[in-house]
Amino acid sequence: MTGSGVLSGLDDRQLEAARALRGPVCVLAGAGTGKTRVITRRIAHGVETGAYSPQRVMAVTFTAKAAGEMRGRLRALGVEGVSARTFHAAALAQLNFFWPQVAGDTVPAIVDSKVRALAHAADGIGMDPSAATLRDVASEIEWRKVTMRSVEAYVDARPRGIGSLDVAAVAALMRAYEKLKDERRQMDFEDVLLACAGMIEAEPRVAQAVREQYRHFTVDEYQDVSPLQQHLLDLWVGQRHDLCVVGDASQTVYSFAGADARFLLEFERRYENARVVRLETNYRSVPEVLRTANALMRGRPGALELHPPAGRADASPPTSLTAYPDERAEAQGVAASVAAQLASGTAPREVAVLYRSHAQSAELVQAFADAGIPVTVLGGARFFDVPQVRQAVMALRAAAVSPTGHDFRGSVRDVLRSLGHTDEAPAAGGALRDAWEARAALLRLADEAPDGTTLKGFTDALLARAKDQHEPTLETVTFATLHAAKGLEWHHVHLVGLSEGLLPISYAQTFEQVDEERRLAYVGITRAARSLSLSWSRGEGRSERRVSRFAEEIGIRTLDVRDGRATRGASTGSGSSRSGR
């Protein structure tokens, strides 16, 4: 490690990336290699040396939460004024600023529900598709637009139809939807990007103003950009090459929604004299987890070879693969394994159970409730949108107006008790326990606040957290789909359902679709820091299954293969099997 100031603590490769202040720069950053740290330090270094003016920097990422984290890290480095936003937020801000000047009117409203608008459009042309079909058509509209296809080009690319609708009916519904939006003077999310790009292309003064405002661009998660986002990025950058992209082709898991990793893989061909820096030192995971991840992705396009820091020799258990008779036995076995981890001193927040689809969670939720283990399922309401949390924040703000003689932490505790919070947690499972965990998280934030914090300062910090989607960690085990787990990490990960038909999922038939499923499995594996447990069920008595091809690709030389048949509900089962079948 070397460097000084904002570059302190970076390794040699990270330092190379952070010092490359002039583009084009491509940082190929594997899982756990510190990419967010590198790109925020790079921006801070540019500002510190005078190479960048903060107001001229745009940092683009894919979620509001990731953008909020980037802003928070930059603030901690003493950098204010950088525009860290999602593609949509940046495009909408530009539309709101320039549209009145160009069109002499306000920006059209955003459609609040694409599915509801599609239902109205279907009524208008005498169609009555099911709700599921409407949801699928909405997804297809999004794909059509982000891949920059007309309705006619869509028909050529997707000739099979959707649900009960043949492709001609789908095209008619898409046209009716566009007509309805125009009549209502509305745009959908994809239109925001299309309209912003169209405005920059059609109005030279807008293009000049945008390129004058923003001189230096950073794009995180670049493997997930769509053709439309790349087109807009090209318009933003113009003829300059001050562009830094960061990504990992092995974590491309949104191809179905239009993401195209070729923009990352072919960056050197697109940009002459591009500098490419490879970050392959993984600071997150123990060597056994890295062995598993590398074995799964070996030979895939753009795959990085992850390795631990030099000299690190953690004593870590091998990745286990346990076979269970059926889904219930698998759920009970995983719950028993997690219970043993918690009994040994592991905090619930350090454990995650990951799966391919939410449909797999039902047996798991029941098994964990039976075992008395509290869980949080990602994908539900955001923490600060939970009714009990909103109620608590409002009560705390009211209390801050007329403070009592209590100290700050005592006041927080009194307010939460007045709303029904108790010292004793209710039984795991159900709404009561979920509400208790949410209020307990607010208490922990109060306990962690610096000395001298006031109640008003605390509530202001809560509001700032809500704005940046900086949610506190609940003292619960996390349940999440592999898509929802992307970008997160836990000490201990249990990846369930590693069987054919679940991972890869049954409808993944083409080579490209199966490859995307492999990348999903890779994302799940690389979330684990200290231990990784894989499991699957044979489906005995119902539909017989076989172990996932991904487990076979990783191989028994890497995996500790176990049989959970002997002790239904045991954490690992007795005996060892060298057959994954």
Q: pLDDT tens digits for 468-496?
A: 667 777 788 999 999 989 989 999 999 99
Give the angle subtended at the CA of 469 by the CAs of 280 and 138, to the nearest 5°.
90
319 annotated as ligand-binding:
no
Across 426-442, b (16+ Cβ under 10 Å) vs e yields: eebbeeebbbbbbbbbb
Fold for the domain defined by 287-380+476-563: Rossmann fold (3.40.50)
d(CA 158, CA 140): 9
State residue 4's pLDDT score: 53
The two domains 5-91+193-279 and 287-380+476-563 share their CATH topology (first three levels equal): yes
Instruction: Confirm whether residue 274 is marked as ligand binding.
Output: no
Specify the amino acid at residue 78: G
Q: Residue 451: is it exposed, middle or buried by C-beta count within 10 angstroms (0-12/13-18/19+)?
A: exposed
Mean pLDDT of all residues in 105-111: 91
What tokens were used for 393?
């924040």
45-86 pLDDT, tens digit per residue, is 999 999 999 999 999 998 888 898 899 899 989 999 999 999
Annotated binding-site residue? 457:
no
pLDDT for position 380: 62
Is 68 annotated to bind a ligand? Reply is no
Q: Among candidates 549, 440, 471, 465, which has minimal Cα distance to 505? A: 549
Output the CA torsion 197→198→201→203 (10° steps).
Answer: -120
pLDDT at 426: 75
C-alpha span between 87 and 76 (Å, rounded): 23
Q: Which residues of 155-168 are buried (b: 16+ CB within 10 A; e: fewer)?
A: beebeeebeebeee
Residue 560 DSSP code: E
Average pLDDT score over residue span 18-28: 93
Q: What is the mean pLDDT of residues 370-379?
A: 85
| CA separation for the pair 147, 256 (Å, rounded) | 11
Do strands 490-495 and 528-537 pair parallel, antiparallel, or not at all (unpaired)? Answer: parallel
- Host H or E run for residue 532: strand 528-537
Q: Between residues 408 and 129, which one has the greater pLDDT?
A: 129
Per-residue pLDDT tens for 264-292?
999 999 988 899 999 999 999 999 999 99
> In which element (H, E) is residue 277 found?
strand 275-279
The pTM is what? 0.81
Q: Is 30 annotated as a binding residue?
A: yes
d(CA 262, CA 234): 15
Q: What pLDDT score does 575 carry?
A: 36
pLDDT tens column, 150-199:
999 999 998 888 888 999 999 999 999 999 999 999 999 999 999 999 99
pLDDT at 566 over 70: no
Mean pLDDT of 124-144: 92
Q: Is residue 232 over pLDDT 90? A: yes
486 in a known ligand binding site: no
Name the pLDDT band for 3 (thresholds 50, 70, 90). Answer: very low
Please, is 423 exposed, middle or buried when counting C-beta atoms within 10 Å of its C-beta (0-12, 13-18, 19+)? exposed
> For 394-452, what is each residue's pLDDT tens digit?
888 888 877 655 678 888 888 888 888 888 777 766 667 777 777 888 888 888 888 87
Task: Determine the pLDDT at residue 1.
Answer: 46
572 annotated to a ligand binding site: no
> Which residues, in sequence order, are bridge partners of residue 536?
323
Query: Hey, where are the domains in the chain?
Result: 5-91+193-279, 114-174, 287-380+476-563, 384-454
Establish whether 311 is an annotated binding residue.
Answer: no
Return the closest-CA partner of residue 402 out of 389, 411, 410: 411
Classified by CATH at the fold level, domain 5-91+193-279 comes out as: Rossmann fold (3.40.50)
